[in-house]
Chain A
Amino acid sequence: DVKVTQSSRYLVKRTGEKVFLECVQDMDHENMFWYRQDPGLGLRLIYFSYDVKMKEKGDIPEGYSVSREKKERFSLILESASTNQTSMYLCASSFYPVGGGSGELFFGEGSRLTVL
């Protein structure tokens, strides 16, 4: 089974702290994604990566950065956490382009971040 593992299920941080959210997938997938999930807004794409060291901005990249030094690991970084970044963060991976029908996204269980 494909497994996408997010290192922290729950985090509590203070405003201004630097936050790292780690995600690892074990199926040699090319593509990895970070989404943010908020009630009533669904999932919004923050960043995605289609290859090692490659990244592209999604719909809401402001306040975030990412790192993909190895194929299996994709990290989301909040340089200076703010209260409006309190949210559920979901990592996902896929092998094929999603437009091809077989481009299923496999999701981790999520990291719930609270910024005080």
Chain B
Amino acid sequence: GEDVEQSLFLSVREGDSSVINCTYTDSSSTYLYWYKQEPGAGLQLLTYIFSNMDMKQDQRLTVLLNKKDKHLSLRIADTQTGDSAIYFCAEPISSNDYKLSFGAGTTVTVRA
């Protein structure tokens, strides 16, 4: 996984759904990750999905995985101002490795 790609910016109205998209590179990746970085802070793991799953839901978060197209998405329902952050998609560089390859990050701005 050398080039994980994401769009850079997303603006969404409070209460609407946000969808953040990511394209990854390694079809053998066992897990794929979403990290969140709030202003002035480091990254925190938001959620992850195992490659044998198509979908994972966790409260307001839904992760969709399309292995054929190597496409990962994160949907945030009922987006709140506290969801304003940078969201990073990440994949392991190899299945037993210690390293993650990160996308450039999508800056989500929630407007009232």
Q: Which residues of A are at the interface with B, using a C-beta cutoff of 8 A?
A: 4, 31, 33, 35, 40-43, 45, 48, 50, 58, 90, 92, 94, 97-101, 103-105, 107-110
Contact = CB atoms under 8 A, between A and B. Distances in A.
Given A43-B43, A98-B97, A103-B31, 14 more contacts: A31-B98, A35-B102, A42-B103, A50-B98, A92-B42, A97-B98, A99-B29, A99-B30, A100-B96, A101-B50, A103-B92, A105-B45, A107-B42, A109-B40
B6 to A, nearest CB: 8
B88 interface: yes
23 contacts: A4-B42, A33-B99, A40-B8, A41-B104, A45-B99, A48-B98, A48-B99, A58-B99, A90-B42, A90-B43, A92-B43, A94-B98, A98-B97, A98-B99, A99-B94, A99-B96, A99-B97, A100-B30, A100-B31, A103-B98, A105-B100, A107-B42, A107-B44
B31 A99 contact: yes
A101 B30 contact: yes
Interface of B: 4, 8, 29-31, 33, 35, 40-45, 48, 50, 88, 92, 94-100, 102-105
A45 B98 CA distance: 11
A48 B44 CA distance: 19
Given A40-B104, A42-B105, A98-B92, A105 B43 contact: yes
A33, A98, A110 — most chain B CB neighbours (10 Å): A98
Contacts of A110: 41-42
A11 to B, nearest CB: 16
Contacts of B41: 109-110
A107 B50 CA distance: 22
A43 B44 contact: no
A31 B99 CA distance: 10
**List of 7 A-B pairs having minimum Cβ-Cβ separation, nearest first:** A107-B42, A42-B104, A99-B92, A43-B102, A101-B31, A99-B95, A107-B43
